[in-house]
Structure 1
C-alpha cells in the first residue's frame, strides 16, 4: 500500500488565479445561419503551421486592458477544439445592440504574442437567459442560444483567443479555442488543459471547489463547457499557465502540434509518432483515457515534459452536454460513491492515488503532488545536468519564489520509475511540515525521456524579466526567468529531436539525494 502524502492545506480555488463570477443574462438573440467572411487567410504558400507563422507580423492590440463591468459582454464556444476548416458556434450575451468578434492566434510574432486571423463586425447583440442550476449535481446550465456560426477555413493550427468587443464600448471578453492538429507525427504537442480551467471556473456561482457557501459542501459535482470563464477576462487559465510556453515554443521554431486533453482522451492514436507531449502549468484534471494514451505514447518513444505541478491528480469522466459530446467534466471527489456513473461501473472520479482503483500519477510523472500552499526558493543540485546547459548555475544556486504555489517531489512510497535523476531539490515548509520540491528526469526502455519541473510557477516564470514582469510574478525576478527560459529551451530542443533517453539516459541519484533507494 502506498505511503500517504497529505496536503499542507485544503485544496482551494486560489491555487488558480482569483475568480470573479459574473451574473448571467436574460433574453436570447437569434442565430444567424450564414458563416461570416474572414478578413485574414492562410499564408500564401498554403502552410498553416507555426513555422510559417513565425515570419508573419503580429497584432499587439489583442490584449484586454479594460474588460468593463460584469455582464457587459461574455460568451463561450460550443467546441473546445476544432480541426482547421471545421465550424463552431459562439454563444454570446450582451446588452449592447452589436459586437465585434476577433480571432487572435496566440504565439510569438516577434514579441507581439498574437496575430489577427479573422474578424466579424456588427454582430447583433442581445441578453441571454439567466443560468439555472441542476439540483442533483449543482451544475450551472446556461441554455444560451447560438449567436454566430464561425467557419475556420484558412485558420492555422494553434491556440486562439476570440475577443468579444461590445460596439458601444461597454465591455470586452475572451473566448478560448484550440484549432487542433489532425496529426502529431514528428512534432512537439502542446496539450492544453481546458478540463482544469473548467474545474476552477466559478461562473454562475459554482465550480468543482466552491458553491454558494464557499466550500465543498455545495460545490458542483459536474461542470460544463457551456458557460463563459469567469477569470482573466474569459480566458480561463490560458494566459497565466499556457500562453508563455506557446510563445517560447513558437519563437524557437520547433515543429509544433496543438491539441487538448479532451482530444487526447477521445482519440487513442492521436499521439502516434509525436516527438514530445507538453503538459503545461496547471494540468490537474485527467480522464483515465487521456492518461492511458499519454503513457502509451511514452512507451512508444514519445518524450513527456511536465511544466507544472499537481499534474494528473484528479480522475475525471467526460460526458455529453446539450451542445455535444465530452462537454461535461465529472468529478465527485470524496463523494465518488454517490456518482451514478461509478455505480454503473465507471472508474471512481476521485484522486488517482486513492481508492477504489488507486493508480498514483507518479508512475507516469516520476514525481507526485506533495502539498499546497508554499512559496520557496528553487535550489539547483545537479548543475552539470544537460537541462542546465548555458545557465551558468552552480550547485546550491537559489532562485526565490520559483517554487509554489503547489509542488511535487519524488516519493518512493509511491510507484516511481527508475532510473530517475533529481536535478533540483528545493526545501519547502508547508503548514509546518518540512519537505522538498524536486525537478526530476527519468528515462524508459522505449528511449523516451520524462522531465518534470516540480513547481506550478514554471510557465509563469517564463515571463519574469524584472520587477512586475509577467501576469502573476509572485516576486520571481529576472534571474529566475533567465534560468527557466534556458532550461525550457534545452528540454524542448532535446525532446523535439526524438527519444531523449537514447542520447541522454537518466543517471539515478536517489541514494545521494534522499539517502535511500
Structure 2
C-alpha cells in the first residue's frame, strides 16, 4: 500500500517540489511524467525509506472516517525540479518496493497512488501567452481521500467539518490530503492532449497561484478555465476581473463556475467556505453566506455572471445513477451564425428560413453541469440576455439549450432530470445552458458546460472543435476586434 500528496501543486522550473508519502513497504521511489499528447516519463528517483502513517480521525467522531479539514502531516520529502523539464502538467506516481507496475500511459492517468502538479516556467509568458488554470480548489472540495480497500469519504460533500465559531465561519477542507487522480483524467487530460496535438502551446497555473499573485495574469493575453471550476477566492475573482478590464481575454470552457467563495487559511494549505452542505442530517447555517450571487447577508452580493456572463442558478445538473451519466445529446441551438465564433463551421441559425443547426448534436456536450443566463426571446424567437440578474448587457447568446425536465429539489436528486438550485423569485425564463460572449475591455467567452473540453479534446464534434480553434486563434492576443 502506498499513497501520497504534494506540499504544493505548482512549482517553478529549477525550484523544489515537496511530496508526502505513506507506505507499509520498507522503501519507495517516485516516477515523474509530463502530460501532453501522451504521458511521457521524465524522471525516476532512487529508493527512499518508507514509513506508514495514518490519517487524522474525523473531529466529529464519525466512525471509520478521516478528517477532511486537518492537514495529514505526513513527513516531507523535498526534491529539485530540473530546469530541463518542459513546463506543463505533470504527474508523480508512488511506487513501493516489491511492486514494479508498468509505466503509465495516456489511458492510465486516472487512478490511486499518483498526484498531479504544474511546472511553471521561470519567465512567465515566455513560451505562450495562453494561461491554463487548473481548478485545484474544486478538486480538493470533492476529494474524498479514498484509497483501494479503504473508503474514507472525507470531503466537503462527505462528512464535512463545519467551524461555527471560526473566522471565517464555514466548512473547512485541507489541501494536504491524498486522493489520487480523478477530475484531471476526465476533463483536463483530453483537452491538454488536443491542445498539444493541434500546436497550441499553453502555460499552466493552479487556483492558488492566481489567488496569491496579483501580477500573474499580466504576462498573458488569454486565461483558460476548464471543466469544473466551482470554488473561487476573492483574490482570484479580483485578479480575473482586473485582467479583463485591462484588455485580457478569458475563455470559460467550464461550468458551475465561481459558484462558491472560499477563504484560504492555514498558510494557504486549507480553505473555508460557508456552503449549503449537510453536516450529518443538518444544514449548519442557511443561507450559506459564501454563495456569490445573493445579496448580503445571505451571500456575497457579487453575481458570478457579472464576470462569466452565465450562472449555475440558471443552469443545472443531470442527475444519474453513475457520474457523469449519460444525458440528452441535443447540443446548442445556434444563434448569430455570422459571428466570428462560428467561422468555418458551416452552421446555420435559421435566418435563411430553415431550422437552426445544433452545435454538438449527438454528443454529451450539455452537462453534466451547465450554466445559463436569464433571457427573453424577441419576435423571431432569438434568445437575448435580459441582464436582470447581473449578466452584462452586451452578452451575446450564441447557443442555447433549454433544460427539461427539471426537478426542483436540488438535494434529493431524481435520475434523468436536470436538477437546478433555487433562483431568485421573479426570474421567469426557463433554465437553459447558454453559450455566449461579451467584451468589456477584454473579451469573455463562456461555453456554459463542464464537458466542452471533453467533446473538443476527443474530437467528438467538428463544430465544437472549430469553435475552439476560432476562440484560441482570436483571443490568444489582447484587444481583439468586437
Same fold (TM over 0.5): yes
Q: Decide whether the 8 Å contact of 1:418 with 1:443 is kept in 2.
A: no
Moved over 6 A (4+): none
Per-residue deviation at 1:86?
Answer: 1.4
Q: Distance in 2 between matches of 1:199 and 1:156?
A: 29
1:176 equivalent in structure 2: 116
2:305 counterpart of 1:362: yes
Normalising by structure 1, what TM-score?
A: 0.69
Bigger Cα displacement from structure 2, 115-124 vs 192-201: 115-124
2:152 counterpart of 1:208: no
Select which of 424, 437, 442 maps to 2:438.
442
1:88 equivalent in structure 2: 17
SS in 2 for 1:414: coil
Unpaired runs of 5+ in structure 1? 1-71, 214-219, 337-347, 466-477, 506-517
Normalising by structure 2, what TM-score?
A: 0.74
2:291 counterpart of 1:351: yes
Q: Distance in 1 between matches of 2:100 and 2:173?
A: 29
Per-residue deviation at 1:292?
Answer: 0.3
2:477 equivalent in structure 1: 497
2:348 counterpart of 1:373: no
Per-residue deviation at 1:210?
Answer: 1.8
Q: Distance in 2 between matches of 1:168 and 1:361?
A: 50
Q: Decide whether the 8 Å contact of 1:403 with 1:437 is kept in 2.
A: yes
1:143-222 equivalences in 2 (<5 Å) = 143-146=73-76, 148-154=77-83, 155-169=85-99, 173-181=113-121, 182-184=123-125, 187-203=129-145, 204-211=152-159, 221-222=171-172
1:262-411 equivalences in 2 (<5 Å) = 262-320=208-266, 325-334=267-276, 350-354=290-294, 355-356=296-297, 357-369=300-312, 370-374=314-318, 375-376=327-328, 377-382=330-335, 383-395=337-349, 396-398=356-358, 399-400=361-362, 401-411=364-374
Question: How far does the alpha carbon of each residue in 1:417-467 deviate from its partner, in whole angstroms, 9 at most, with x for none?
Answer: 1322111111211525753211001111x2x111100111111212445xx
Per-residue deviation at 1:183?
Answer: 2.2
Per-residue deviation at 1:142?
Answer: 1.8
Question: How far does the alpha carbon of each residue in 1:337-370 deviate from its partner, in whole angstroms, 9 at most, with x for none?
Answer: xxxxxxxxxxx86111123331110110011112
SS in 1 for 2:194: helix
1:417-432 equivalences in 2 (<5 Å) = 417-432=392-407
SS in 2 for 1:126: coil
Q: Distance in 1 between matches of 2:71 and 2:100?
A: 25
1:33 equivalent in structure 2: none
Q: Distance in 1 between matches of 2:303 and 2:273?
A: 17
Question: How far does the alpha carbon of each residue in 1:78-119 deviate from its partner, in whole angstroms, 9 at most, with x for none?
Answer: 1121111111221111223333311111112xxxx2222221
SS in 1 for 2:193: helix
Q: Decide whether the 8 Å contact of 2:156 with 2:277 is kept in 1.
A: no
Q: Decide whether the 8 Å contact of 1:352 with 1:358 is kept in 2.
A: yes
1:226 equivalent in structure 2: 176
1:126 equivalent in structure 2: 51
2:191 equivalent in structure 1: 245
Select which of 26, 29, 32 maps to 1:97.
26
Per-residue deviation at 1:335?
Answer: 8.6
Unpaired runs of 5+ in structure 2? 62-66, 102-111, 146-151, 162-169, 279-287, 319-326, 350-355, 375-386, 409-429
Question: How far does the alpha carbon of each residue in 1:3-56 deviate from its partner, in whole angstroms, 9 at most, with x for none?
Answer: xxxxxxxxxxxxxxxxxxxxxxxxxxxxxxxxxxxxxxxxxxxxxxxxxxxxxx
Q: 1:418 to 1:371 in 2, by over 3 A?
A: closer
SS in 2 for 1:460: helix
Q: Decide whether the 8 Å contact of 2:130 with 2:201 is kept in 1.
A: yes
1:483 equivalent in structure 2: 463
SS in 2 for 1:177: strand
SS in 2 for 1:308: strand
> What is the Cα-based RMSD across aligned positions, in Å?
2.5
Q: Distance in 1 between matches of 2:95 and 2:265?
A: 32
Q: Distance in 2 between matches of 1:349 and 1:124?
A: 46
Q: Decide whether the 8 Å contact of 2:191 with 2:457 is kept in 1.
A: no
Question: How far does the alpha carbon of each residue in 1:210-261 deviate from its partner, in whole angstroms, 9 at most, with x for none?
Answer: 2189xxxxxx8111111111xxxx1242121222222222333335221111
Q: Distance in 2 between matches of 1:254 and 1:79?
A: 26
Q: Decide whether the 8 Å contact of 1:208 with 1:331 is kept in 2.
A: no
SS in 2 for 1:142: coil
SS in 2 for 1:462: helix
Q: Distance in 1 between matches of 2:405 and 2:212?
A: 37
Q: 1:143 to 1:134 in 2, by over 3 A?
A: farther
Q: 1:153 to 1:358 in 2, by over 3 A?
A: same
Q: Distance in 2 between matches of 1:402 and 1:270?
A: 31
2:8 equivalent in structure 1: 79
SS in 2 for 1:246: helix
Q: Distance in 2 between matches of 1:407 and 1:257?
A: 26
